[in-house]
């Protein structure tokens, strides 16, 4: 597995928005100013007030509604993983696959050009034999449905901290090594303790 080109958006805005339930009025300029102060850490008192509230809310269970501000912290990244991993990853609803490689469109070219990526050498040999059958007029379905689960495909993903909190809780310690790598990626995100419930504000990044 490989995760690259990671972008985190609207973290500070989501932190400030977490305080809206306790405000009688709303000023857009003040909202912008607070988010900027959290981002730049120019006002230590204001920064600590906002972050401590976010820390407290983020520690709530995912289904409580209290940590919902985490859904506003957006994360996008490129991920290369096996078919088996993608099969399990797609169980989660609050994420968007922006675009991905397609075995329907490009599997033949991947095998023909040798650009297909597998995690095991045995997979490569198996697919070489399959491709030989395909060239000898076996149905396309034979190639697609017999392709080893070790084939790696890349997609661009958009999700948020609240969904990652659910994923981390369910998949940490999973026997599939790719899930362990995905959880390690989560642990490297800014303010990852909001997701993992591991550590505290001293682990801010």
Q: In terms of Cα–Cα distance, which of 74, 69, 117, 118 is closest to 96?
A: 74
Q: Could you write out the DSSP letters of every residue in the chain?
A: -EEEEEEEESHHHHHHHTTGGG-SS--HHHHHHHHHHHHHT--HHHHHHHHHHHHHHHTS-GGGSTTGGGGGSEEEEEEEEEHHHHHHHTT-SS-EEEEE--HHHHHHHHHHHT--EESSHHHHHHHHHHHHHHHTT--HHHHHHTS-TTEEEEEEEEEEHHHHHHHHHHHTT-SSHHHHHHHHHHHTSTTTHHHH--S-GGG--
pLDDT, tens digit (0-9, with 9 covering 90-100), for 64-104: 878 999 999 999 999 999 999 999 999 888 888 899 988 88
**146 domain residue, yes or no:** yes
Handedness of CA 180, 56, 62, 30 (dihedral sign): negative
pLDDT, tens digit (0-9, with 9 covering 90-100), for 11-57: 999 999 998 777 767 777 788 888 888 888 888 888 898 999 999 99
What is the span of the domain harbouring residue 146? 80-89+100-155
Provide the pLDDT for residue 24: 64
Task: Give the angle subtended at the CA of 5 by the CAs of 166 and 3, to the nearest 5°.
Answer: 55
pTM attached to this predicted model:
0.86
**22 domain residue, yes or no:** no
pLDDT(130) > 90: no
Provide the pLDDT for residue 116: 78
| Residue 198 pLDDT grade (very low, low, confident, very high; cuts 50, 70, 90) | confident
Residues 51, 73: contact at Cβ < 8 Å?
no
Provide the pLDDT for residue 128: 80
Counting the structural domains of the chain, the total is 1
pLDDT(169) > 70: yes
**8 domain residue, yes or no:** no
**140 domain residue, yes or no:** yes
**188 domain residue, yes or no:** no
Task: Give the angle subtended at the CA of 143 by the CAs of 138 and 148, to the nearest 5°.
Answer: 150
Provide the pLDDT for residue 115: 77
**128 domain residue, yes or no:** yes
**What is the maximal distance between C-alpha atoms in the chain?**
73
**178 domain residue, yes or no:** no
**172 domain residue, yes or no:** no
pLDDT, tens digit (0-9, with 9 covering 90-100), for 136-149: 888 888 888 888 88
Provide the pLDDT for residue 51: 93
């Amino acid at each position: 597995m490989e995760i690259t080109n990671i972008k985190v958006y609207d973290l500070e805005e989501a932190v400030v928005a977490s305080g809206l339930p306790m405000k009688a009025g709303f000023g857009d300029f003040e909202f912008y100013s607070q988010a900027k102060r959290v981002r730049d850490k120019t006002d230590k008192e204001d920064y600590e007030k906002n972050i401590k509230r976010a820390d407290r809310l983020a520690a709530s269970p995912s289904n409580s509604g209290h940590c919902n501000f985490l859904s506003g912290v957006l994360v996008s990244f490129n991920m290369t993983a096996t078919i088996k991993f993608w099969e399990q990853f797609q169980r989660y609803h609050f994420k968007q696959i922006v675009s991905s490689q397609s075995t329907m469109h490009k599997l033949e070219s991947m095998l023909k050009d040798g650009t297909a990526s597998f995690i095991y050498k045995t997979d490569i040999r198996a697919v070489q034999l399959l491709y030989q059958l395909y060239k000898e007029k076996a149905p396309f379905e034979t190639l697609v449905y017999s392709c080893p689960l070790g084939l790696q495909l890349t997609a661009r993903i958009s999700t948020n901290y609240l969904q990652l909190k659910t994923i981390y809780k369910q998949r940490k310690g999973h026997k599939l090594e790719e899930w362990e790598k995905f959880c390690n990626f989560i642990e490297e995100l800014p303010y990852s303790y909001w997701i993992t419930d591991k550590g505290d504000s001293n682990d801010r990044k």
